[in-house]
Homo-oligomer: A and B are copies of this chain.
Amino acid sequence: MKIKRDSEIEGAVVEMEGAKDVTMKILIGPDDGSQNIIMRLFTVSPGGHTPYHTHDFEHLVKVLAGTGVVVDKDGNRHDLSPGHNVFVEPNEKHQFANPHSEPLEMTCTIPNPDVK
């Protein structure tokens, strides 16, 4: 069993092209013994966004704090606030953005790409 607080985990700036003012923490992953699933915490600062992109794995997202939007494959924007859950299918285009004034915090859980 591993028990960790968010505040004990070091965050990293997401350097991916198309990302702006996003940091990520791996809450639970392979280093903790989790072979199949990786749970990450993303913080999108006001004015920031993730890339508008696709990849071959799914996202299971839970909004924890702040507000923002998710952009779907057709470019439609959907408001997000705490209590929202978003499933993004593999290869489905998507973007998370924060046009508001408070940081948007959300968990984004994925399958371990090394196990796929």
Contacts and interface: CB of A to CB of B under 8 A. Distances in A.
Interface of A: 1-7, 27-28, 32-37, 39, 58, 60, 62, 64, 70, 72-73, 78, 80, 83-89, 92, 94, 107, 109-111
A7 B82 CA distance: 11
A37 B58 contact: yes
B109 A37 contact: yes
A86 B2 CA distance: 6
Contacts of A86: 1-3
A31 B73 CA distance: 20
A87 B34 contact: yes
Contacts of A88: 1
B89 A1 contact: yes
A2 B87 contact: yes
A7 to B, nearest CB: 6
Contacts of A27: 60, 62, 85
B85 A6 contact: yes
29 contacts: A1-B70, A1-B72, A1-B73, A1-B89, A1-B92, A1-B94, A2-B85, A2-B87, A3-B70, A3-B80, A3-B84, A3-B85, A5-B83, A5-B85, A6-B83, A28-B60, A28-B85, A28-B87, A34-B58, A34-B60, A35-B58, A36-B58, A37-B37, A37-B58, A37-B111, A39-B60, A39-B109, A62-B62, A107-B107
